Structure 1
């Protein structure tokens, strides 16, 4: 419905215009009347009409002044001027100032008025289409620009841009100069991305990406202006504004508060941990690639610091030891001996000794990976000697060398490698044969020791040893003096105690590592078996 306002100081003229046509029937709505230009401006502000029909000669503010005001204040409504023969000079001036149509009062009838209204309405609709197309083109251009910027940031992070001259030209082309000045670069990285389980389609993954971006944008709006981009499958770029901050102390304080809120909200609402690498403030566009590298170096530091951290470039250790780390032939022979003889503790001690050295010297991650690759080769050598299938150690379709590459922290790497060693020693350990008379029960014990971290049940174990479940349950209790479920609980709690004593992991993570997904149940079971809650036990071991 097109809204119309009538402006005339002559009451009979206003009444005539009210009655001359059925306004609603023809698609128009009379929203009000005014007796002069001043009152008309108030009603335009209030009712937002699409068409104003105005007389020229009026007290206080005439029609020409009204039209000028409509144009200057950009109300966007169209004007139809009512005039007499002797007002024609005024009509020309009105058209000059933006009037769209005019009608002679003494010739005005319903047909002329409807024709004039229709022409004005067509003009409004044409502008709507043009404006819509312009806005669509503008939106498309903005989307294209955002995509190009996102691609540029992705390439900068990947190190594709080498020459500073090329970078400067690209920043200018993408109109990024003002957007990058007085900003701090933050890169948010999803911890353990390779462990996340998505459906066969991109939809679930896209929902996650959108959720992370929306949370980040919402919190960013509470702090300062800035931008959020997704740059890789697991990384998001935030340009955080530090404009107006007079002291570095306040700048870093505000930025840290922002990062903590983003990290906390993503953890609460999406149940995902994120690490955040933060650059120094951008004061020179010529060094933009260096600022991105600062974020990358900050995120690399989580290998030794652990995940779910906020890491500022200014706080990290810059010196990296490039001395190659090699296992000597003598050490390799010792490790093989320990593994063959199931001396799990000695192997662990050896690994812990090396890892302590890695941390103290801030050894290059690539060298640490090489060390663990060598350990895998030792495990494989012993497994081959005793006909142990690698799938029984690492799992189906698992490449252990690729797992090493994907491990984001040295803590996860240690747990994983020790678990594999424990599986091998569990399969080699001769004590089981000596302890129980029935070889099936020996195999069950070995199976539990190797698979306690998985979802194992009596049904699965019975299938594994090809025995009736009820008979196996009876035989197991007869041999071990314990039922299957309680025995499995005992093993899991003992393994949990070992993890608490050797690793600084959250209780929920330890519960999952020993095969218990429910933290509350784990805490309850732990207290039943140990006499203390997991938190209390961790305190007693320091």
Structure 2
């Protein structure tokens, strides 16, 4: 039933909307009395702005410690929006002891009181999908109809994130994180989706933390550092990106640092072993057997860590020791020098020595 020019409640304009207002205190430690005082002052502002003008009538109700509901009866949507902005500006100019911000969600217009409940539900939904901004703001339900309301976060992208972190590839990780943000670009300006995205990416980070801890006897990550990223409040898209990219960068740096430390230990053990066995029939296969590693993997690892392959390293070590013997023990025959540093074949020793030093062992001894 459409409301006529005059009703028992005093409404006389063709449209109705419900406005849900959420009051956010700047001081989170405010008392209930302070909150009620602020609510009363804000209700007073709305009553003054909305009920002292033509073309708008309203009923303003306190419905909770930090929520207000407004039933507005009005001539045009433009007039309602104008008065809402006027009220918000006046609230923003309240004295210091009233410091707060207010968020308004406006339900779509109804042309009778029978369907006003729909407008109330829409006003609440507008609050949930408001822009993630701590400043005063207003959002109409009609402006959120296009918004993506569910997070787009495929499992394969999460697996790529985990894999990139564990492999230490920050470049690819950053590409995947940006892809996820782009997939949700039309939704991340809203409060609910932005928080969902932040919490989901933090949950993925937590999976990596738990997996890494399960595979190590000692603690991998500093809990104090992790808590800094997880307990900070996001204020917008950029602050969310800073926190998310920050925690993933920290995890990669930590895991890579520990991996490098372990690699250094293993490399030093290998060098020490070679240094003790270079004068014997040492080989890559024997080295791999001693360290219980796959020969092909060990070969790649050794070259990555030292810059040269296993054979080159052993030959350099043997020739350096051979030079010392050639200089310091003139009584040793060339063949004996070769044998003492691990070359059982005289020709192999001479060829390797000449390749490395540019002259034969005999000429080197003569010049020395």
TM-score (normalizing by structure 2): 0.51
In the other structure, the counterpart of 1:219 is: 49
d(CA) in 2 for partners of 1:342, 1:265? 52
Which sections of structure 1, spanning at least 5 residues, go unmatched?
1-175, 246-250, 435-542
1:234 corresponds to which residue? 66
* CA distance 1:359–1:304, shift in 2 (3 Å): farther
The aligned residue for residue 244 of structure 2 is: 417
Residue-by-residue CA offset, 1:468-527 (whole Å, 9 max, x unaligned)? xxxxxxxxxxxxxxxxxxxxxxxxxxxxxxxxxxxxxxxxxxxxxxxxxxxxxxxxxxxx
Change over 3 Å in CA distance of 1:187–1:313 after alignment to 2: same
Note closer, same or farther for the CA distance 1:366–1:299 as it changes in structure 2 (3 Å cut): closer
Which runs of 5 or more structure 2 residues have no equivalent in the other structure?
Answer: 1-6, 213-218, 262-368
Q: Residue in 2 aligned with 1:108? A: none
Aligned mate of 1:258, from 62, 65, 83: 83
Q: CA RMSD in A?
A: 4.3
Secondary structure, aligned partner of 2:244? helix
- Return the alpha-carbon distance in structure 1 between the equivalents of residues 158 and 27 of structure 2: 35
The structure 2 residue matched to 1:388, chosen from 193, 206, 221, is 221
Cα offset, 1:188, TM superposition? 1.8
Alignment check: 8 A CA contact 2:132 2:236 kept: yes
Alpha-carbon offset, residue 257 of structure 1:
1.9
Matched, 1:377 2:210: no
Per-residue deviation, 1:312: 2.3
Secondary structure of the equivalent of 2:107? strand
Q: Given that residues 275 and 310 in structure 1 are in contact (C-alpha distance below 8 angstroms), is that contact kept between their aligned partners in structure 2? A: yes
Residues 64-213 of structure 1 correspond to what in structure 2 (within 5 A)? 178=9, 182=13, 183-190=16-23, 196-199=27-30, 201-213=31-43
TM-score, structure 1 as length reference: 0.36
2:118 aligned with 1:290: yes
Distance verdict in 2 for CA 1:325–1:216, change over 3 Å: same
Shift of residue 185, structure 1, vs aligned partner: 1.8
Question: Does the alignment pair 1:299 with 2:127?
Answer: yes
Is the partner of 1:280 in helix, strand or coil?
Answer: coil
3-state SS of paired residue (2:72): strand
- 1:272 is matched with which residue? 100
What is the Cα deviation at residue 410 of structure 1?
A: 5.8
Taking the aligned partners of 1:179 and 1:408, their CA distance within structure 2 comes to: 42
Match of 2:116, SS state, is helix
Q: Is the 8 A contact 1:307 1:409 kept in 2?
A: no
In structure 2, C-alpha distance between the alignment counterparts of 1:239 and 1:338, rounded to whole Å: 52
Which has the bigger relative contact order, CA under 8 A and spacing at least 6?
A: 2
Measured after TM superposition, the shift of residue 184 of structure 1 is 2.8
Q: Distance in 2 between matches of 1:273 and 1:422?
A: 34
Counterpart CA distance in 1 for 2:243 and 2:64 is: 26
Q: Work out the CA distance in 2 between the residues paired with 1:391 and 1:375.
A: 19
Distance (Å, rounded) in 2 between the aligned partners of 1:179 and 1:394? 55
